[in-house]
Structure 1
Amino acid sequence: MRPLILACLAILGFALAGCQDKVRRPACPAGQRCFEFGLDLEPATLDPQKANLISESWVIGDLMMGLTTEAPDASPAPGGATSWETSPDGLVWTFHLRRDARWSDGVPVTADDYVFGLQRLLDPKIASIYAYLAYVIEGGQAISEGKAAPSTLGAKALDPYTLQLKLAHPAPYLPELTKHQSFYPAPRHVVEKYGDKWVTPGRYVSNGPYRLVSWRLGDHIGLAKNPAFFDAAHVCFDRVDYFATPDAISVERRIQRGELDATNTFLSNRITRLRSVMPGYVRTHTSLATLYMSFNRAVPALQDLRVRRALSQAVDREFITGKLLRAGQQPAYAFVPPGVANYPGGARTVWAGRPLTARQAEARTLLAQAGYSPGRPLKLEIKTTNNPESLLLAQAVQADWRAIGVDASLVQNDGPVAFSAYANRDFQVGMMVWYADFNDPMTFLGLLKSDTGAQNYGDYRNPAYDALLDAADREADAARRGQILARAERLMLADEGTVPIDFTVNRALVNPRITGWVDNAENFHRTRWLCPR
């Protein structure tokens, strides 16, 4: 099966490369500078408090800005706030806002807009998939669960330009968290007027370097420089066009022809060819991201630890990373990737280090103990997105599971459809990548907390795990906190709470004429820092 997968990979690449594109670079108005970007997925929303996909984050990050923002290297830098200080116990943060900050319609951005944004994030009617991130703020969880009024949130406008956040527990990573789109301000004067339709062109107002001018589904999203942005004089590109182009081979050719300037991914197995035919374009960097699979615990078979362990240890991670992907990905036997700040690491699956053949033999034994046999095979469905790399990964796992007697079928959906299905638990086994929302182990481990909600796709629940995460939240000493979190990860891995497959590598194609692109582990590259050479 593996040679077949590799053959399919080669055939797919040649077939896609043979397609003919008719799209050409959009005309750039005379005297302006334009940046054309290829996204891997079509955004489903540009509402900061509702967004979920990485493709959405790329666009929203050009339109909006939080209290902090990404510097060129993605480290936290002053954004909507010029400075901040914390109380000695780390529970009260006071942010001093820019007095020259304006929404794109000229209305001042005030502390009330940040409070309103956080209240929207936690509003049960909004049902934000990222609401759990704001549980760090006092009263946040109770509001999200409908047990308290929004006014009880520990976010207060002390005056128009001073915001106070009272936390439920110390969070030294808060400046990392406030970069995230879910913490962006929301323009109350527009949202209350238009409701959910405020995110459409002509109504959308932004506080970032760009404003929304057009959005044609299936075509592109057009942005123009925001003259009301406080640093507009230093924003190089006058216009940004985001094209949703899931066909990775098509994107390659369009960049090679100069129709697009950059894209946020490419097929891993094509890296050698790309470096040959497009010298200077290929950008890779160690990523704070993990490719993994989730088991839907509503499926009776997947409630059995023996079944989950058999399925996880049968996956040949070395083949996937070394032969199938080949762009520097590393086999993952843990969930938190190497290099995450404030973390000692060291957690691994209980069976890590054993040869694949021994793992396969044990997997067959575990399945037999769970009541499955050649005459009564375990049947499962793997649901994934419909890009070529996801298909090949799913086929590899399908082959590995077939080797231990599991009958797995594959279902592919468009990206937004697949993630909607995961959130609604309309899947048995799902395949996804988690990119760190902020540089701290909690962005990974917090996903599997029982009260996280939709993004705990497998509904992993273990009171002991939750207790360890709560203890880590209360621990002020960074080293002791890291050790507690490592204990939690070991416990989750022993439960086979998820199936880590590989530690991902950031991959991008960037025209060498673009300057200011700084490779970084968090993989944030805001257009305001980019310029044409």
Structure 2
Amino acid sequence: MKNNNKYALSVVAMAMAAVTLPAWATQLPADLAWESNWDEPLFASKEAKRGGTYRSYMRSFPQTLRSVGPDANSGLRQYFMDEAPKLVQRHPTTGKWIPQLATAWAFGDDHKTVYFQLDPKARWSDGEKVTADDYLFMLKYYRSKDIIDPWYNDFFNNHIDDVKKIDDYTIVITAKVAKSDDELLYMMSLPSNGLQPRPAHFFAKVKDENNDGMDDNFVRKFNFKAEPTTGPYYLDKVKKGKSVTFKHVGEDWWGYSNKYYQHRYNVDKIRLRVIRDEDIAKKHFEKGDLDAFRLIQPELWHEKSNTAPYQQGYIHKLWGYNAVVQGAGGLWMNTAKPMLDDINVRKGITYATDYDGLIKNVLRGDYLRKPHGLGTGHGDYDRPDSVPPTFLPEKAVTYFEKAGYTTIGADGIRLNKDGQRLSFAVTYSRPARTPRVAYLKEQAKQAGLELTLNLVDGSSAFKYILEKKHELAYLTMGGGKIPAYWEYLHSVNAKPQTNNHTNFRSPAMDEKIAAYLAEFDTTKKQAISHDIQQMVSDAYVIVPGYMAPFTREAYWRWMKFPTPAMTKDTHYLFSNEGYLTLGTYWIDSDVKKQTKSAMKKKQTFDPVVVVDDTYKP
């Protein structure tokens, strides 16, 4: 009998130790059917070895060590929150729910309530137990105005009705509106939603004059003070402006009692140095100062990774395909800026943006075009007939002329009757993307449109965009299996420090989003999703960009990983500046010594290129 089916409490007690009939069961509905799932395939390797320091880099030092509040939606938040354990999580290949901080779960009859049985082995990185009180505190934490984070304030006030404690290891979470069982778990496990415990003991002694459970000076006080974590790594050392080092909790990390965590997170430390220039980082990598380096950019994979260390077999290469959700992104137009509030201008920009040519001529045809600005990979939530707009400069001209840009200046750029140039700055964050934006700039000239390049380094770029200082933003966001629309499109978020990067305002869209959030029936919800996507297309606020359904990485031969290397949800194989990753890699210290010795003796190995095309589209 498979234990991922539903059981009555008495059956669960007999069937598996992980869902034992608790003494407090009389306080719960008598007909609860508990679920768990210990039957999914493992994706880590039993050959993994523990130990060593994994060395990587980040392009800029984070502006905060907080995971919420101003400037927190960038930098190291993946380490602090997004990739920390949830109550439950989808298996990275099968997509089925598996236990993490909760060992079992059950659904109420109201389609709003989920009961969770917490893992009593779970511990914070400082050794304290993770209990129901940490989830009660979580609600105070996110509802507090002191965190200065409108998104979380809204979500935990308007989407989460309550969190209750049955006993130290059992909680009840109730949503505001009815949802299917799958959507309830999804909402309660999505990293960005923050439904993870917060260490109540860590915030026990704070100045809280407004009595909302949080320090009145939270943002400043905890700006560079990391909270304890339930994950395998805690922040150990910080050298401001230079580096951060994460240290493993140890062999006794509570997660290793969960079969899905075994043989993962194998290195003792992860050290991230600040190296602002990617070319310089590549040189550090090829000298052996870093252990891995991403080769996503075509010129890196096809041309710049054929040097001596690769030819001599010291450095290996991996091209691994995945099936991850592709988030919203492309060219975001800030409709609050002059000229961009005119839909004819936005239409013109859309047809003057040559993403298809960019993919073919700059990206070597390796990437694919997104069918829609709100991303793809959401299954039936995506419009099946979405087709990205093509590059049609003649069509763009007709829209620019409708907007009043009927004169062509000496430099070929269009002007209106007031002499205002048809010119917009494109904000982007990496020097490696300069050739891409430059290509769009050159192609846009055919329609009399000027695109200027506004490179803002690293996390500062996202801050710049969050503050709505941009005109056009060359940006891709993350995404989940069920698309999120409120944060990107609702009028209430047309303000600084939100993800409404277009500053889009529409009462009709607000009504549609409200209907989407309230809809229980999955088929009807998907139909509303189609409507929203069509409305975004009709508003011309995001030019759909490109997507790379793979990772390409170089690594020293002492870095090891499972076979096959990839799961459907493997964004990156090795940890890097923004991702902790699934942590299935390890360092073979014997191979490292062998390699170092061979290099001194001028001995070489055969070159190695691994291609895992299991999930190639």
Cα 1:220/1:489, change in 2 over 3 Å: same
Max radius of gyration: which structure?
2
1:46 aligns with one of 65, 77, 94: 65
Cα 1:115/1:260, change in 2 over 3 Å: farther
1:223 paired with 2:246, answer yes
- What is the alpha-carbon distance in structure 2 between the residues aligned to residue 70 and residue 392 of structure 1? 37
Map of 1:222-301 to 2, 5 A cutoff?
Answer: 222-227=245-250, 229-231=253-255, 234=262, 235-263=265-293, 266-273=296-303, 276=306, 277=310, 279-287=316-324, 288-301=326-339
Contact 2:329 2:374 in 1 (8 A): no
- What is the alpha-carbon distance in structure 1 between the residues aligned to residue 234 and residue 319 of structure 2? 29
2:174 equivalent in structure 1: 166
CA deviation map 1:496-526 (0-9, x unaligned): 1222222344434253532145343462763
- What is the alpha-carbon distance in structure 2 between the residues aligned to residue 123 and residue 522 of structure 1? 34
Map of 1:44-443 to 2, 5 A cutoff?
Answer: 44-50=63-69, 52-53=72-73, 55-60=75-80, 64-69=84-89, 73=93, 75=95, 77-128=98-149, 130-131=151-152, 135=155, 139-140=157-158, 153-169=161-177, 170=179, 172-177=182-187, 178-180=189-191, 182-193=194-205, 195-196=218-219, 197-198=221-222, 200=224, 204-227=227-250, 229-231=253-255, 234=262, 235-263=265-293, 266-273=296-303, 276=306, 277=310, 279-287=316-324, 288-326=326-364, 328-348=366-386, 352=388, 356=391, 359-372=392-405, 373-375=407-409, 376=415, 378-436=421-479, 438-442=480-484
RMSD in angstroms over aligned alpha carbons?
Answer: 3.2
- What is the alpha-carbon distance in structure 1 between the residues aligned to residue 488 and residue 74 of structure 2? 16
- What is the alpha-carbon distance in structure 2 between the residues aligned to residue 298 and residue 344 of structure 1? 28
Map of 1:441-520 to 2, 5 A cutoff?
Answer: 441-442=483-484, 446-452=487-493, 454-509=498-553, 511=555, 513-516=559-562, 518-520=566-568
Structure 2 counterpart SS, 1:319: helix
- What is the alpha-carbon distance in structure 2 between the residues aligned to residue 280 and residue 264 of structure 1? 10
- What is the alpha-carbon distance in structure 2 between the residues aligned to residue 390 and residue 402 of structure 1? 19
1:149 equivalent in structure 2: none
Unaligned stretches of 5+ in structure 2?
A: 1-49, 207-217, 410-414, 572-578, 589-617
- What is the alpha-carbon distance in structure 1 between the residues aligned to residue 72 and residue 367 of structure 2? 24
In the TM superposition, residue 316 of structure 1 has moved relative to its aligned partner by 0.8
CA deviation map 1:118-171 (0-9, x unaligned): 433343332336427x63x5x336xxxxxxxxxx95222333222222112216
Letter matched to residue 439 of structure 1: K
Contact 2:323 2:568 in 1 (8 A): yes
- What is the alpha-carbon distance in structure 1 between the residues aligned to residue 399 and residue 247 of structure 2? 58
Structure 2 counterpart SS, 1:66: coil
- What is the alpha-carbon distance in structure 2 between the residues aligned to residue 193 and residue 342 of structure 1? 48
In the TM superposition, residue 246 of structure 1 has moved relative to its aligned partner by 4.3
Structure 2 counterpart SS, 1:469: helix
Cα 1:118/1:329, change in 2 over 3 Å: farther
- What is the alpha-carbon distance in structure 1 between the residues aligned to residue 382 and residue 125 of structure 2? 44
- What is the alpha-carbon distance in structure 1 between the residues aligned to residue 567 and residue 548 of structure 2? 14
Letter matched to residue 360 of structure 1: P
Contact 2:429 2:455 in 1 (8 A): yes
In the TM superposition, residue 474 of structure 1 has moved relative to its aligned partner by 3.1
Give the TM-score, by structure 1 length. 0.80
- What is the alpha-carbon distance in structure 1 between the residues aligned to residue 421 and residue 53 of structure 2? 53
2:215 equivalent in structure 1: none
In the TM superposition, residue 380 of structure 1 has moved relative to its aligned partner by 3.4
Contact 1:342 1:440 in 2 (8 A): no
The percentage of counterpart residues that share the same residue type is 19
Structure 2 counterpart SS, 1:310: helix
Contact 1:39 1:264 in 2 (8 A): no
1:26 equivalent in structure 2: none
In the TM superposition, residue 378 of structure 1 has moved relative to its aligned partner by 3.4
- What is the alpha-carbon distance in structure 1 between the residues aligned to residue 275 and residue 185 of structure 2? 33
Contact 1:514 1:530 in 2 (8 A): yes
CA deviation map 1:338-357 (0-9, x unaligned): 432442432536xx566x3x
- What is the alpha-carbon distance in structure 2 between the residues aligned to residue 55 and residue 520 of structure 1? 25
Cα 1:217/1:396, change in 2 over 3 Å: farther
CA deviation map 1:269-309 (0-9, x unaligned): 32223665454334453542344122222223111110001
Cα 1:469/1:420, change in 2 over 3 Å: same
Contact 1:506 1:521 in 2 (8 A): no
Unaligned stretches of 5+ in structure 1?
A: 1-30, 142-151
- What is the alpha-carbon distance in structure 1 between the residues aligned to residue 364 and residue 231 of structure 2? 37
- What is the alpha-carbon distance in structure 2 between the residues aligned to residue 104 and residue 344 of structure 1? 40
